[in-house]
Amino acid sequence: MSTREIQDHKANPSEMFVQQAVYANVDVLPSPVRGATIRSIESRRDCTLESTADQFCEAADASLLPVIRVDAANLMRVLRQLEGIAKRQAPRIAFKVKGRILLLDLADILAVQAEGNYVSLQHLPNPYLVHESLSSMTEKLKPYGFVRIHRSVVVNISAVEEIQPLPTGEYRLRVKGGKEYLVTRTYKHNLRDLAQLWVGSERLCG
């Protein structure tokens, strides 16, 4: 055994104890001083490992991020494509007119009005007559945001722009394009469905 090995073999027993405890990851507290030394060493080791892991994760995450370069023209093209997809997925109504089947977006129908044995779909710029009862249309359109305001009128709540109370207890309702409809007292409670939030209108439809 060389002189260096003998010196190492005769090292301070307390230092050897600390080293063995650290490598074994054992929280041994033979004395306050030694215990503090062990916790300090473990704390530094954990901090080093966590710091190394964080740096590795940041490097890995950064390497996985794609590099995308989009100019204004390409961005506008993508936005138009998304708008087209959204419009194709919007609810539509299909009906037969003069031997043809037309399909319209429900959002473009402002109201549905009874016309004898038919209903008139108030669609800008041209209305369409469909052989259907208003009661049947009301039930079909109710899940899509249409409410009845008169025994002969159903309106699209997204098309309503203004409500005016009348002295008779009724209301006048204006939709996009300027057309107005009368809301009778029988159906005025349906006006609450026109908006998701009412502010300062506790007496409305009361």
Query: Measured between alpha carbons, how far is 136 from 157 in angstroms, rounded to an integer?
Result: 18
Domain residue spans in the chain? 3-64, 104-194
Pairing mode of beta strands 146-150, 153-156: antiparallel
Region 71-77: mean pLDDT is 79
Helix/strand/coil for 25: coil
Most confident of 34-38, 62-66, 96-100, 166-170: 166-170
Among 176, 107, 184, smallest CA distance to 150 is for 184
Q: List the CATH code of the domain at 104-194.
A: 2.40.50.1020
Q: How confident is the model at residue 70 (pLDDT cuts 50, 70, 90)?
A: low
pLDDT of residue 138: 93
66-84 b/e (C-beta count within 10 Å ≥ 16 → b)? eeeeeeeeeeeeeeeeeee
pLDDT of residue 36: 44
Residue 128 has pLDDT above 80, yes or no: yes
Helix/strand/coil for 176: coil
* Residues 86 and 92 sit within 8 Å (Cβ to Cβ): no
Region 49-60: mean pLDDT is 48
Q: Which residues pair with 150 in a beta bridge?
A: 153
